[in-house]
Amino acid sequence: MRKFILLLISILMALSILGCSSPFGKDTNTVIIGGKNFTEQDILVYLMKGVIEKNTNLKVETKAYLGGTNVVAQAIERGDLDIYAEYTGTALVNILGEEYTPPSSPEIVYEKVKDIYADKKQIIWLKPFGFNNTYTLAMRTSQADELSIQSMSDLAKQSSNLKLGATHEFLERVDGYSNVKAVYDMKFDLPAGMDPGLTYAACRDGNVDVIDAFSTDGRIIAFNLKVLEDDKQVFPPFYAAPLIRADTLKLHPEIADALNLLAGKINSEEMSKLNAKVDLDGKSPNVVANEWLADNGFL
Amino acid sequence: MLANFLIMLQNRWPEIMIGTWQHIQLTLVALLIANLIALPLGILLTRKRKVAETIIGITSVFQTIPSLALLGFMVPIFGIGFMPAIIALTVYGLLPILRNTYTGIVGVNQAVIDAGTGMGMTSRQVLFMIELPLALPIIMAGIRTATVMVIGVATLAALVGAGGLGDLIFRGIAMARQDLILAGAIPVALLSILFDYGLKKIELFVQPKNQ
């Protein structure tokens, strides 16, 4: 009996080691797609997984909701990830530490990061999905109308009477609050830093008046918030595109063809709607992504 | 590296000061409330020992909720800002104070209490002249544990818009800037040490001298 148990244990151990999808080297027929820790990135992970699995023979492993920009950017450089979706503005300012100098255009920024990435990081930028998830400031539509605020310049004039609530990242980024504050001469009192999940509801409930927001967030429409016009163009363009490691692409060039099927197919409004389905209707990102792929003839 | 860190400290000094002040406010208010609840409750429980384990059990359950989740629970009810942070921190500080108050008093030698009663002491006199002074080191240990914990957990208050030193830490995490994380974390550590040391001094001061 004891021998039998020992045998059973050793078989189980052997199986569990085998089950870890070969810990001593990556399976070359599997690609790993990663994503940052917010809804849109989750949806993009499953959209990319969907088209790759449909159009190639590769297996896709997903590592969704990993962490912030830096976690994911370091992971793809180390080779822990093969693919993830990045935003042009984030890559330019956050990751490469370059300066964004307006006037510029989405194309100029895209070409610039694409060249630097191919050159320095051996990571390839594929074609953008089509939407611009830029930073923006938002406030309650009712309050904006009351104070007749349309643009960030209008806001600046009345900013000393309003309360700003923002994510820690926005407050700290060079192209975030400090830039907006300088260019528009904002006079907010001590801004309240908070978790990205709380800002929209805090604004809706009147805990704060102005928040930093992403232009594709589903909650902007759902919570009746107004996006203020960036009339001095302080925010860089944030067009999303898939990034892939050059060595992975060399091994499986078909991935590029598969992912480029999505190029230009999702505009900002479309992305907001997809985000709203997850954030507000409580659907899973996986389901939302697959529904969209099916509805648009990708599956 | 060090030079850069010092320049950063200089630039951030006002923020560090504001953060430290908010952190102290959060900690002190939460601890005050926790003490006001847990000390009398702990004493009361020594008079009602049958329900003691149940009540202490309930506070233990609160303790097992991850602090981040506890803060999350508070947001839909209390919104964002000082309020939800204070309530979560208070709940967190309860258990060590309650348990140590109860255990400390229950652990007082029955013979000493009997001696007091034999000398004609009232129940109140037994409490204030025998039980509390003898249990004091254990009660203070509970308060010190709670203090150090609350100072640590208070860094999470920055997630719900309550400010504090966590603000610098979360900004540092968002930007992967270790120096900024340290600019928040070091003052938190210093606060813990300082508060713990201060409470130790208080403990020594109020302890019966002829033990």
Q: Calculate mean pLDDT across residues A212-234.
A: 89
Asked if residue A148 and residue A118 are part of one domain, the reply reads no
Q: Please, which pLDDT band fits residue B63 given cuts at 50, 70 and 90?
A: confident
pLDDT, tens only, A106-127: 899 999 999 999 999 999 999 9
Distance of alpha carbon B68 from alpha carbon B156, whole angstroms:
7
Q: Which of A70, A168, A207 sits opposite B171 (nearest CB)?
A: A168
Q: Which of B68, B165, B167 to mutate to test the interface with A (most CBs of A within 10 A)?
A: B167
pLDDT at A40 over 50: yes
- Report whether pLDDT(A259) > 80: yes
Least confident piece of the model among A72-76, A92-96, A256-260: A92-96
- Of the three residues A174, A207, A227, the one that is the final residue of a domain is A227
CATH number at residue A111: 3.40.190.10
Local confidence band at A174 (pLDDT 50, 70, 90 cut-offs): confident
- A41-66: buried (b, 16+ CB within 10 Å) or exposed (e) per residue? bbbbbbbbbbbbeeebebebebebeb
ipTM: 0.75
* A243 and A106 co-located in one domain: yes
- Considering the domain architecture, whether residues A126 and A260 belong to the same structural domain is answered as yes
Residues A116 and A44 in one domain: yes
- Contact B75/A198, CB-based, under 8 Å? yes
Query: Closest approach of chain A CAs to the CA of B74, in angstroms?
Result: 12
CA distance A280 to chain B (A): 15
**Domain interval for residue A95:** 12-132+238-295
- The reply to whether B75 touches chain A by the CB within 8 Å rule is yes
Q: Do the domain assignments include residue A199?
A: yes
pLDDT tens-digit series, residues B131-189: 999 999 999 999 999 999 999 999 999 998 899 999 999 998 887 788 889 999 999 99
In this prediction, residues B69-87 reach a mean pLDDT of: 87
* DSSP sequence for A86-141: EEHHIIIIIIS-PPP-SS--HHHHHHHHHHHIIIII-EEE----S-B--EEEEEEH
pLDDT tens digits along A4-14 = 676 667 666 66
Does residue A293 register a pLDDT over 90? Answer: yes
Q: Is the pLDDT of residue A282 over 90?
A: no
Q: Hey, what are B11's tokens?
A: 């630039």
- Whether residues A210 and A244 fall in one domain: no
Number of structural domains found in chain A: 2
- Average predicted confidence (pLDDT) for chain A: 89
Last residue of a domain, one of A195, A227, A259: A227
CB contact under 8 A, A192 and B175: no
* Residue B154 DSSP class: G
Within a domain: A193? yes
Nearest CA in chain B to A71: B176
**Contact state of A194 with B160 under an 8 Å Cβ cutoff:** yes
Quote the minimal CA–CA distance from B148 to chain A in Å. Answer: 23
- Asked whether residue A266 is domain-assigned, the answer is yes
CB within 8 A of B172, min separation 6: which ones?
A172, B178, B179, B180, B181, B182, B183, B184
Mean residue pLDDT across chain B: 91
Residues A205, A244 within the same domain: no
Within a domain: A156: yes
- pTM over cut 0.90: no
- pLDDT, tens digit, 9 for 90 and up, residues A132-155: 998 899 999 999 999 999 999 999
- The answer to whether position A232 is within a domain reads no
* Of A193, A227, A261, the domain-final residue: A227
Confidence of residue A22 (pLDDT cuts 50, 70, 90): very low
CA distance B163 to chain A (A): 7
- Residues A219 and A144 placed together within one structural domain of the fold: yes
Is residue B210's pLDDT more than 80?
Answer: no
Residue A1 inside a domain? The answer is no
Residues A196, A221, single domain; the answer is yes
Greater model confidence, A230 or A27:
A230
Same domain, A102 and A152: no
What value does the mean pLDDT take over residues B183-209? 90
Q: Between chains, do B160 and A195 touch, taking CB under 8 Å as contact? A: yes
The Cβ of residue A191 has, within 10 Å, a number of other Cβ atoms equal to 22
Residue A217 lies in a domain: yes
Predicted confidence (pLDDT) at residue A15 exceeds the cutoff of 80? no
Q: Are residues A221 and A245 in the same domain?
A: no
Q: What is the CATH number of the domain that holds A145?
A: 3.40.190.120
Question: Which helix (DSSP H) or strand (DSSP E) does residue A212 occupy?
Answer: strand A210-214
Q: Are residues A35 and A116 in the same domain?
A: yes
- Is A7 part of a structural domain of the chain? no
A71 and A211 within one domain: no
